Amino acid sequence: MDDTALPGPAVPGPAHPDAVSPGPVSPGPGQSGSLFRRHLAEWRMILVAWRLLVLQTSHPVVAAGTAEHSTYRAHPWRRIEHTMSSGRRLVFADRATLRREVARLDRAHRRIQGVDGHGQAYSAQDPATRVWVLITLYESVVAMRELSGDPLGPAELDVLYGEFSAICAEFRLPGGVLPRTAAEVPAYVDTVVRECLEFNAQARYLLFDMLREAPRPRRLRLLAPLWPLLRLLIAAVLTTLTIADLPPAYRERFGLVAGRPGALLSRVLHHGARRVATRLPDRLRYRTQSDPSAAGPIDVSAPRRFRPGRRDTRRPRLGRFFSEVLDQTGDGFISSHDLRAMAHNVCWQLELDDAGEEAVYAGFDAWWEELRRTMDTDGDGRISKAEFVAAAIAAHDRDPEHPHQQPQPQPGLRAALHAVFRAADTDRSGFIGADEYRVVFGSRLHPAEISHGFRQLDRDGDGRLSEAEFVHGFTEFFTARGDLAAGSQLLGRP
């Protein structure tokens, strides 16, 4: 799962000849009778989702990758969508899709490495961290059943762990790092909690602050007036529930107290969800997978144009653009990590090979070098909002008569955009058709939103996007000279 711990970097790479090889299991993880698959598909897994994220992010390697490489602070819902999408590919797809997903994750996470706040080197390739991230997924299924008052029996645990191990067999796990049986998992989890995990800044943010600051999800636009109050209520309930549901060893070690209200809330929600779920038909009890290609045709009529207003609103508009689009990691600066996060998001929906992904990343790396060279006035290796706004206004003022027309060529930005276009043009026709365009955005947008973005880019209204149209539209967007729905939908908040 991409950034399995919401942004966690530690997801294993592809299978290795020496990987752990589980015994035969029946049925397999991709079959409809799979116990593991059936449990993960239940809607009530949502109740333990935040618990899972806190456990994963408490690992110091995951926390370090989260702090430096993740976009979860600025784009929490996109990160959750990516995590869920990757989980579906790993657990619910056939073996060929599973292997493609593992290979894609390996390419993405090879790039996640660095030095943490304690001066220790970290890497997403660390085997112990990979195992922890995977085991927490299995452990969350077990916890859901225990918390609902219906724990799995020993035989069911063996089947569940066998199916889980069949998925793990596709990852590069050295022998001996994964618990061999379901019976060994509780002791493994207890040891990691007591000896390895930290209640770090990232875990605290997830547990106490993230939902209190989260932007409104795009699909909840009708709740916009109520969102500030609603998110506080959701955050309070979820924090109380998560603390109550965390392993006792975790609460004991880090001084978290559930109290009687938390225990009561946990019992009511989990037991109530079980009683409701077991009485529902399967179509309501289990989540179904969405297919972006089944969303219906894109409306390609009447392309819409950006019409600038008369009043100079550049400074606040540029500030919003900086915060909502360019600052992907939400730390108040643009750095190479932000540009690489954009590349990662672009590549996410596309099943590219090594060469295709490298081309996209190389394009965004070139764009970063261009931004750093022209905007990083204090030479600290990152661009502040003030530096960006000043440089963008200066560039606009060099052409005061036409501030919203195409800017002077920017080789780095254009290299990135050409790479994105060629990656999205999967049939190599030289155009991006409606179906190809839809794949780039996945299933997270309403069809009307996708149609609007497509029409803005399709300047000649012929129902397809040429490379020139694509590059022109996104160049205006990334230089903050024009509004573009497609740009905001792909990289903006929420």
User: pLDDT tens digit string along 408-451?
Assistant: 557 888 888 898 899 889 889 999 998 888 887 655 566 777 78
The one-character DSSP state at 450 is H
339 and 265 within one domain: no
169 and 246 within one domain: yes
Q: Using CB atoms within 10 Å of the CB of residue 249, give its burial: 0 to 12 exposed, 13 to 18 middle, 19+ buried.
A: middle
User: What are the average pLDDT values for consecutive 10-residue runs of the chain, which has 494 residues?
Assistant: 40 35 38 80 93 95 86 74 74 82 80 84 89 94 97 97 93 89 98 97 93 82 88 95 98 95 97 96 80 49 48 74 83 89 80 83 91 92 92 72 51 87 90 86 67 84 91 80 64 54
Q: Residue 195: inside a domain, yes or no? A: yes
CB burial of 406-420 (b: ≥16 within 10 Å; e: otherwise) equals: ebeebebbbbbbbbb
268 and 121 within one domain: yes
179 and 59 within one domain: yes
**Cα separation of 7 and 344, whole Å?**
12
First to last CA, the chain: 20
DSSP per-residue codes, 242-311 = HHHHS-HHHHHHHT---HHHHHHHHHHHHHHHHHHHTTS-HHHHB-----GGGS------S-------SS
364 and 262 within one domain: no
Residue 3 has a pLDDT of 46
Residue 256 has a pLDDT of 96
Q: Residue 30: inside a domain, yes or no? A: no
42 and 106 within one domain: yes
Question: Cβ distance 62 to 56 under 8 Å?
Answer: yes
Which residue has 């008052």 as its token pair?
149
Within 13 Å and on the Cβ side, how many CA atoms surround 443? Answer: 12
Asked which of 245, 275, 305 is the last residue of a domain, the reply is 275
338 and 227 within one domain: no
Asked which of 254, 275, 296 is the last residue of a domain, the reply is 275
Domain of residue 121, residue span? 35-275
- Tokens coding 370: 């261009």
Asked which of 244, 275, 306 is the last residue of a domain, the reply is 275
319 and 211 within one domain: no
What is the torsional sign of CA 327, 331, 334, 339?
negative
Which residue has 């997978």 as its token pair?
289
The one-character DSSP state at 47 is G
Residue 7 has a pLDDT of 38
Q: Residue 12: inside a domain, yes or no? A: no
- 447, 428, 448, 424: which is closest to 436 by C-alpha? 424
Residue 437 has a pLDDT of 84
The verdict on whether omega for the bond into residue 407 sits within 30 degrees of 0, i.e. cis, is no
342 and 239 within one domain: no
Q: Residue 305: inside a domain, yes or no? A: no
Q: Residue 44: inside a domain, yes or no? A: yes
484 and 413 within one domain: yes
**Residue 339 is part of a domain; what is its CATH number?**
1.10.238.10
Residue 310 has a pLDDT of 53
55 and 200 within one domain: yes
346 and 258 within one domain: no
Q: Residue 58: inside a domain, yes or no? A: yes
Question: Cβ distance 212 to 233 under 8 Å?
Answer: no
Structural domain count of the chain: 2
172 Cβ contact partners less than 8 Å away, ≥ 6 residues apart: 12, 13, 14, 15, 16, 19, 106, 127, 130
* Cross-strand pairs, 171: 14
| Sequence-distant contacts of 454-460: CB under 8 A, at least 24 apart | 454/298, 454/299, 454/300, 454/486, 455/299, 455/300, 455/301, 455/302, 455/303, 455/304, 456/303, 456/304, 456/305, 456/306, 456/484, 456/485, 456/486, 457/303, 457/484, 457/486, 458/300, 458/303, 459/303, 460/303
- Tokens coding 480: 């903050």
pLDDT per position as a tens digit, 85-100: 777 778 887 888 888 8
3-state secondary structure of 360: helix
pTM: 0.73
DSSP per-residue codes, 135-183 = HHHHHHHHHHHHHTT-PPPHHHHHHHHHHHHHHHTTB---TTSS-SSGG
Q: Residue 319: inside a domain, yes or no? A: yes
Q: Residue 152: inside a domain, yes or no? A: yes
